[in-house]
Amino acid sequence: MKIVFLDCSTVGKLSRIDRLNDFGDLIKYEKTDIGERFERTRDSDIIITNKVVIDQQVMDQAPRLKLICIAATGMNNVDLKYAKTKGIRVMNVENYSTYSVAQSTFAMIFYLLNHSRYYDDYVKNGKYAKSPIFTHHGRVFYELKDKIFGIIGLGTIGKSVARIAEAFNCRVIYYSTSGKNKNPDYMRVGLDELLSTSEIVSIHAPLNDRTKNLIGYTEIKKMKSRAILVNVGRGGIVEEAGLGKALDENLIYGAAIDVLSKEPIEKNNPLLKVKNKDKLLITPHIAWASEESRTLLMDKIYDNIKTFLEE
Active site residues: 234, 263, 285
What is 84-103 written as a DSSP string? HHTT-EEE---SSSHHHHHH
Sign of CA dihedral 212, 214, 218, 223: negative
Find all residues with CB under 8 Å of 106, minimum gap 6, and list them: 161, 164
Question: Beta-carbon neighbour count of residue 199 at 10 Å?
Answer: 20
CA distance 167 to 249: 33
What is the C-alpha separation between 201 and 306, in angstroms, rounded? 40
User: In 10 A of CB 35, how many CB atoms?
Assistant: 7
Nearest to 22 by CA among 3, 40, 8, 7: 3
For residue 81, the number of C-alpha atoms closer than 13 Å in the C-beta half-sphere is 0
How many whole angstroms separate alpha carbon 27 and alpha carbon 25? Answer: 7
Euclidean distance between CA atoms 199 and 191, whole angstroms:
14
- List Cβ neighbours of 220 (8 Å cut-off, separation of 6 or more): 195, 229, 242, 243, 246, 251, 252
**Which residues neighbour 267 within 8 Å (Cβ) at sequence distance 6 or greater?**
none
